[in-house]
Amino acid sequence: GSRWLSRQFGAGQVPPSGTMVRLATALATALRIGTLAQAQLGAEEAFGAFKTKFRRAYGSGEEARRFAAFSANFHVVQAENARGHAYTLGLNAFADMTPEEFASTHMGLLSGGREVRGRRLQAGVHAGGNRSLPARVDWRATGAVQAVRHQGHCGSCWAFSAIAALEGAWQIHTGENVSLSEQQLVDCAWPNFGCGSGRPEQAFRYFIDDPSFAFEPSAHPACTRASYHYRADNGKCAEAAGAAAIFRGGVVGIVRVVSGSTEALMDAVAQQPVSVTVDASTWALYAGGVFQCSAPEASLNHAVALVGYGEDDGAAYWLIRNSWGTGWGEAGYMRLLRTGDGLGNCGVTLEASYPLVDSSASPKPVRPPRKRAPATRFYGAPPCHDDEQQVPGLDPVMGASFTGSVCTPQSWPNCPPPPEGANWLPVPFGTQTPHKGCALACRDDSQCPLGAACESFNFCSYPRKSVPATRYYAAPPCHDDESVAPAVAPFGTWDRRRGEVCAMRITPTQRSCPAPPEGTGWIVRPVLDALSLASPPICMVICTRDVHCPAGARCEYEDSLRHRNSWSVHEGVCTYPAGNASEPTLAPVGGRRMAAGQALFLV
């Protein structure tokens, strides 16, 4: 399995310019063809070793796709390592993912500005320049940096970056090593969006008391990681059940580092670990050394923690703690080339901040929750008024997912205020009619109207009952105008799913999907068979959770590839359990069964 490592894959011979002869051209072409064939053989051997090392087992349909991604990464590693950089790339656990797939599941910086709600949150700007700086800083040596962690397939880098900076600040100022919960921020820290995206400064804000922020003025304790385990998924806020490591009032402000200043950032890092945002588009295969981004500009898409800086063989670097596990980089760390003022390598100097802590914080009584009031005119449960729209479950444009139903005012973007004394926060969502309106943002049920619940995507909705399918979208046996279809996710995944469903095809006489029963809230859309795009579309119920499906059905989707937007919502289709859905046999009653493994795509 090591023979491929010793092979040299050159870039081929460059044909001579000017008066090159045909013989030289033919020879150069033959050499290039031979090199490519040898490289392809090397990729196949490497893929076999990769599958063994990382215990990969693919379905027949996925094997080819994963090899294509791996082969592309294999050639990138070979070519870049041959250039003699001060760093090396390697075939790590991410080598069977495309760059787009990796970015959609392992980053998660919320795009947009750095605005932080509230007047008391920003405690100052760190400019530096008032002291001599040490030549080398490494906060790992003092115990201010916890072990490297893995964010998994969840866009929660912002939470890991903020927690690393907060853990470091607390250890430096108190001498206490605390391991804090990233999941608490994923579940509770609005206006971040959990595994969808977020920003470190908004995570710091969650722990700070700020009466000017009417929606949520109270500071929150920082829970221990042991009491609030990381799940790499969105969930309902369970802070009340966690054990506090830093009590309310322990975080008192946010300090921003002057943007674009290497000296100011070095001065801040010499004081404590710092949260930074970066362009990590080319980081996935980093294996070691002092890395340098090749792009002249930076598109910030990831958040990490700066835990030191230093110099290696004349190359100045930043020491970065990432959140992709210890199998990535140098045991989970990266040394990033430290350049002069301005953009900074990979944009590392553009957005940096750290929290201020107060070691005198002690347990404080929790403010009693306000009495929950029922919704009367707006934000109530269906049936809705004429100037409202029922949002039944999934909004495909916004990407928000509701377990229940709610009446959303159509006065977008000017949302009706809540009743006097209610701590509701109306926010506009969506950009296109009819998929826009106003909803109530929340952290937990106490911030919703009486009878409503706070969803894991931070909106209030009212529970609804599951209704069985009768004529359409039901389990086999099917009617004559339907087909039995094995289900896959509609956004470009390749694996077949475990279930099946009766699906009607769009035809010249049947130009739209049958409407779901009134009050069910099912989202019905046509999907295409990706292996036979000329075939008519098939009507199916789209979902993100089982509660969006008919009774007895479940929502199935490919977890490793998400529909990418600021909310990172999974979209799948509703299917029913089948004993052997992959066998291409005929449906028991009427219709036809699609070939196993066929993919479905939205029309």
What distance in Å separates the CA atoms of residue 161 and residue 169, rounded to the nearest whole number? 13
> Total domain count for the chain?
4
Residue 562, pLDDT above cutoff 80: no
What distance in Å separates the CA atoms of residue 241 and residue 220, rounded to the nearest whole number? 13
Going by DSSP bridges, is the β-strand pair 286-291/87-89 parallel, antiparallel, or unpaired? Answer: antiparallel
Pairwise pLDDT comparison (47 vs 365), residue with the higher score: 47
For residues 297 and 165, state if they share a domain: yes
Q: Which of 26-30, 65-69, 480-484 has the lowest mean pLDDT?
A: 26-30
Would 91 be classed as within a structural domain? Answer: no
Q: Is 173 known to be catalytic? A: no
Would 541 be classed as within a structural domain? Answer: yes
Q: Which of 342, 361, 380 is the last residue of a domain?
A: 361
Would 533 be classed as within a structural domain? Answer: yes
Q: Which of 144-158, 432-446, 448-462 has the lowest mean pLDDT?
A: 432-446
For residues 176 and 285, state if they share a domain: yes
pLDDT for 216-229, tens place per residue? 556 899 999 999 99
For residues 483 and 342, state if they share a domain: no
Residue 463, pLDDT above cutoff 70: yes
Q: What is the CATH number of the domain that holds 142?
A: 3.90.70.10
For residues 161 and 303, state if they share a domain: yes
Please state, for a pLDDT cut of 90, what percent of the chain lies above it: 41
Would 266 be classed as within a structural domain? Answer: yes
Pairwise pLDDT comparison (395 vs 441), residue with the higher score: 441
Q: Which domain holds residue 61?
A: 35-84
**What number is the average pLDDT over the span 405-409?**
84
Mean pLDDT, the chain, rounded, equals 78
Would 102 be classed as within a structural domain? Answer: no
For residues 63 and 154, state if they share a domain: no
Would 196 be classed as within a structural domain? Answer: yes
Q: Which of 528, 544, 561 is the last residue of a domain?
A: 561
For residues 406 and 326, state if they share a domain: no
For residues 319 and 345, state if they share a domain: yes
Quickly state the pLDDT bin for 8 (edges 50, 70, 90). Answer: very low
For residues 238 and 289, state if they share a domain: yes
Q: Is 435 known to be catalytic? A: no
- 419, amino acid identity: P
For residues 44 and 129, state if they share a domain: no
Q: Is 423 known to be catalytic? A: no
pLDDT for 325-356, tens place per residue? 999 999 999 999 998 776 679 999 999 999 99
For residues 414 and 317, state if they share a domain: no
Burial of 204-239, coded b for 16+ CB within 10 Å and e otherwise, reads: bbbbbbbeebebbeebbbbbbbeebebebbbeebbb
Q: Which helix (H) or strand (E) holds 316?
A: strand 315-321
For residues 204 and 310, state if they share a domain: yes
Residue 254, pLDDT above cutoff 90: yes
Q: Which of 114-123, 156-165, 188-197 has the lowest mean pLDDT?
A: 114-123
Catalytic entry in 106, 150, 153, 157: 157
Quickly state the pLDDT bin for 172 (edges 50, 70, 90). Answer: very high
Would 1 be classed as within a structural domain? Answer: no
Catalytic entry in 302, 548, 563, 570: 302
Would 573 be classed as within a structural domain? Answer: no
Residue 191, pLDDT above cutoff 70: yes
Catalytic entry in 322, 513, 539, 549: 322
pLDDT for 522? 80
Q: Could you write out the DSSP letters of every residue in 339-405?
A: --SSS-GGGTTTSEEEEEE-TT----PPPPPPPP---SSSS-PSSPPTTEEEE-SB-TTT--B-SSB
For residues 209 and 345, state if they share a domain: yes
Q: Which of 101-115, 253-267, 515-529 has the lowest mean pLDDT?
A: 515-529
The token duo for 65 is: 């796709």
